[in-house]
Structures are given as structure tokens and as C-alpha cells.
Amino acid sequence: MRHLALLLALAASLPAADNTLSPEEKAAGFRLLFDGRTMNGWLDPAKQNAPGDAWMVEDGTLRTVLKPRISEDLLTLDQFADFELLFDWRLSERGNTGLKYRIQRTVFVDHSTRQPGPNGFEGMLGRELAGRLSDRARLAPGVRAEVYSVGFEFQLLDDERHPDAKRGADRQTGALYSMIPASRKASNPVGEWNQSRLVVRGAHIEHWVNGVKVLEGSLDDQRIKDGAIRRWGPAPEIRDALVNPRPRGHIALQHHGDLVWFKNLKIRELR
């Protein structure tokens, strides 16, 4: 009996298996966003019109597919206002991704109708929104496309090798991308798994990496408004959506062209 009690105590102390909830997480009100086997709970790109090919389920993870026909983020079916999210992530060398929240809208761009012009990527999205040039349902066979998700990004990056990291601390892991820098570095070496936590309550936000709170701030911060105005002047619909965001939106795993993995996505809504 004593040995049985010790075994039970040991089992209770072990971490939950991947993509499952521990008794403590269940009691706290968490639920799984990813079951480790299917796209249930996500807007599966393969089921869209036209079908996408940017994401797959592999060995209990959600994994990007390199060089897809339609490059796009993976969005949750549900929308969330105030929540706590737990997630694990891993990057390939020179990898760049993020977890986006309070998604305001998405913008589909058919590369065959994309209009040339100034102001780079932001200008291209601005012209797309102004002209409503693309229609996913009419994407011609063999033509490439992309979908941009407008929201707030918890940046995840190979800070040592990716050139974006050299553009400033607001582009490095844990930052609110291009708006508020992380206060410190806490990510593991590239190739290793990291555990992160995101808290969103009203305008209050917290970004955690491997048990370290690397950012605490507010979506009302003037730096966010300044960052949106600075970056998205050529796309005023996106600028305005970030300056005056709706308080509820999808969560998205970013596809930025690199090989990245996510697992153990768990969420509880905060009241």
C-alpha cells in the first residue's frame, strides 16, 4: 500500500503529456486549442475556397509547410476577448514567427493581381484594400497568394541569426512586434522547445517566455498607436484597426516562411 501511494504521488507530480490538460489546468478552467491530431478548433486552410497548404499536423505539433501556394497564418475558429493562453513553440535556425492576438481582420492578396507601387509590403496591402483586387474563390490554378492577419504579435524569433533582430529590441523574442520591446531575453537556444504564456485582460497584456515575464503593458500605450501610424500609413484601414481595435478577435499562429512548430496550446477565458 505504501509503494502504491508513492507511485500515485509520483504520477501526480509528473507533467501532463503533450496536448493534454493536467488536473490543475482542468480545475483552473483551461481547455485545449489543439488536440495533437487534427485541425479541430482551427480554420483549416485546406478547407478554404481556394484550399490552402501552409500548415500540417505532424508528430503532435502544428507545423508550417515551406513554400506553400497560399502563405497564411493559422487562425482559431473562436474569437476571444480576455484570456490566458499557454503554448509551446520551437524554431528552425534563422526562424521567424509569432503568435498574434485580437485579430482585427485578414487581407487576401492574389499575386497575379498585385499592383506594383511604393512603400513595400505595407503599400501593397494598402493598394489591395483600396482596390479590393483579390478574391480567394477566384484564385486561378497555379497562382500563388498570401493572407495577412491584422492584429497584435507576440514576436518569436531566432534573435542570434535572423536579421530582423538587429533592427531593434521591439523585433526580438517576447516583444509586441514593432511596438513595445521585451524587457529581457529568456528564450532557449534555437531548436529547443520554449514555453510561453500570454495574458490579455481588457487593454492589459503580459508576455511570458519560459517562466519569465518579459513584457507587461497596455494596448492603450502610445507606443502602439505611434507604431501603427508609423508602419501602416500606406494602409490606413490597417492603421485604424490597430489604433482603435475591437476588444475581441481570433488568435493566430504566424506563417512567416520558415519552419516552426507549436504544441500544448491551452486557453482559459477570463471574466
**pLDDT digit string, tens, across residues 180-221:** 999 999 999 999 999 999 999 999 999 999 999 999 999 999
Q: Does residue 13 form part of some domain?
A: no
Strand partners, 204: 201, 218
Place of cell 509520483: 10
**Which set of grid coordinates corresponds to residue 214?**
518579459
> What is the Rg, in whole angstroms, of the alpha carbon atoms belonging to the chain?
19
pTM: 0.93
Q: Does residue 132 form part of some domain?
A: yes
pLDDT confidence of residue 246? 97
Q: Does residue 8 form part of some domain?
A: no
Q: Does residue 18 form part of some domain?
A: no
pLDDT confidence of residue 271? 85
Domain count, the chain: 1
Checking if the pLDDT of 15 tops 90, the result is no
Q: Does residue 6 form part of some domain?
A: no
Is the alpha carbon torsion for 117, 120, 122, 125 positive or negative?
positive
Place of cell 507601387: 117
Checking if the pLDDT of 5 tops 80, the result is no
Domain residue limits at 238 = 23-269
pLDDT confidence of residue 8? 47
Taking only the tens place, the pLDDT of each residue in 130-170 is 999 999 999 999 999 999 999 999 999 999 999 999 999 99
Give CA separation, 178 vs 18, 55, 170, 236, in Å.
Answer: 32, 25, 5, 17
Are 156 and 91 contacting, i.e. CB atoms less than 8 angstroms apart?
Answer: yes
- CATH code, domain carrying 156: 2.60.120.560
Q: Determine if the peptide bond prior to 137 is cis (ω within 30°).
A: no
Q: Does residue 227 form part of some domain?
A: yes
